[in-house]
Amino acid sequence: MRRSTLTRTTAETDITVELNLDGTGSYDNETGVGFFDHMLDQLSRHSLIDIKVRAKGDLHIDDHHTVEDVGITLGQALAQALDDKRGIRRYGSCLLAMDDAQIRCALDLSARPFLIWNVDFPTSSIGTFDTELVREFFQALSTHGGITLHVDALHGFNSHHIAEAAFKSVARALREAVETDPRKADAIPSTKGAL
């Protein structure tokens, strides 16, 4: 079964993530950061990966540790659920439009973390949410999920739309990459024989 449950506890955050790669996009995310919950819901809905996140973080300081550590734990849970990556498509991409925003994502579940992030936000916050944290989340997801992740904003003028389109674009690309390729369901998709 391509599922995982992972708990990560530090002095700053206490996080549990449950994933089912072969899900239906059902989600149940409570981090104490409303906008971030909305983004995690998008990640699940558009990747069709079932995601449940429970996070208790030091929000009296700010949202930073909570958002970053959810990225770390989600990345680790993803890597664990993918196991040896047998049968997956490995690569995914998406060009996604949302109103004014257009975001391009290309990713490789390579076990070689690398983030290319060309996304600028016209405002420093979305409500009370710091827009810098969007990059922090994807940096943590890339590093701990072993993902080569490229995200480029082609245009957009509304920060909420830009952030949401980024999550949706990554979700769509992730859906493709984690899917089983029926033509090669028994093999690890690398000429090296390992990923």
Nearer to Mn ion, 32 or 34 (CB): 34
Minimum CB separation from Mn ion for residue 115, in Å? 23
Minimum CB separation from Mn ion for residue 112, in Å? 32
Q: Binders of Mn ion: how many residues, by CB under 5 A?
A: 1
**Helix-then-strand count for the chain, H and E:** 4, 10
Minimum CB separation from Mn ion for residue 120, in Å? 19
Nearer to Mn ion, 19 or 39 (CB): 39
Q: Rounded to 5 degrees, what angle do the CA atoms 69, 180, 84 make?
A: 55
Nearer to Mn ion, 82 or 162 (CB): 162
- Both tokens of residue 146? 């072993």
- Look at residues 96, 112, 98 and name the one whose alpha carbon lies nearest to residue 47: 96
Whole-angstrom distance, CA of residue 46 vs CA of residue 82: 18
Nearer to Mn ion, 69 or 164 (CB): 164
The residue of the chain with the least Cβ separation from Mn ion equals 164
DSSP string over 91-123: EEEEEEEETTEEEEEEEE--S--EEEEE---SS
Nearer to Mn ion, 35 or 138 (CB): 35
Minimum CB separation from Mn ion for residue 161, in Å? 8
The mark string for 142-171 relative to Mn ion (x by CB under 5 A, - otherwise) is ----------------------x-------
Minimum CB separation from Mn ion for residue 47, in Å? 17
Footprint on this chain of Mn ion (rule: CB under 5 A): 164
